[in-house]
């Protein structure tokens, strides 16, 4: 929905972030895999091989240049972390780090997190509608 507004380099940076965040709690479940596939389709890019060993958060975040892009990235990551109805402490910590790097306040982050939770629930409901 919002990811098409990212520039090409930002899309690949976002995809790296999405894989990193999805795997940070040690669980990479089907909901997260499905959402990442949807992200790729939405952005019109091919999926990538995730190699967490070479991931440097500050390098990836530096590829997200504008305030609008930073907000989009954070909103979409919040959909991802809420997709399994568990906001693990490792996910919470990395989201806090990303928000701080983007100079997003705790209050605004809480609002974004609630939006991500609601959007994730609506996405799940939509998938159920398509199954029937």
**pLDDT tens track, the chain, 132 positions:** 799 999 999 999 999 999 999 999 888 888 888 899 999 999 999 988 887 778 899 999 999 999 999 999 999 999 999 988 778 899 999 999 999 999 999 999 999 999 999 999 998 888 889 886
Q: Report the alpha-carbon distance of residue 91 to residue 98 in Å, rounded.
A: 11
Cβ partners under 8 Å of residue 114, min gap 6: none
pLDDT at 132: 64
CA end-to-end distance (rounded Å), the chain:
24
Nearest CA among 31, 13, 24 for reference residue 82: 31
Q: What is the pLDDT of residue 95?
A: 97
Q: CB of 39 within 8 A of CB of 11?
A: no
Per-residue model confidence (pLDDT) at position 27: 83
75-99 burial: b if 16+ Cβ within 10 Å, else e = bbbbbbbbbbeebeeebeebbeebb
Interior CA angle at 59 toward 117 and 37, to 5°? Answer: 45
């Amino acid at each position: 929905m919002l990811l098409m507004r990212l520039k090409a380099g930002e899309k690949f940076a976002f995809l790296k972030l999405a894989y990193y965040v999805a795997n940070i709690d040690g669980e990479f479940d089907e909901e997260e895999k499905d959402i990442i596939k949807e992200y790729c389709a939405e952005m019109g890019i091919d999926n990538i091989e995730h190699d967490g060993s070479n991931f440097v958060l500050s390098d990836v975040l530096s590829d997200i240049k504008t305030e609008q892009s930073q907000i989009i990235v954070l909103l979409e990551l919040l959909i991802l972390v809420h997709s399994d109805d568990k906001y693990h402490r490792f996910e919470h910590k990395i989201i806090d780090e990303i928000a701080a790097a983007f100079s997003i306040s705790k209050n605004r982050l809480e609002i974004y997190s609630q939006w991500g939770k609601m959007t994730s629930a609506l996405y799940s409901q939509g998938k159920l509608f398509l199954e029937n």
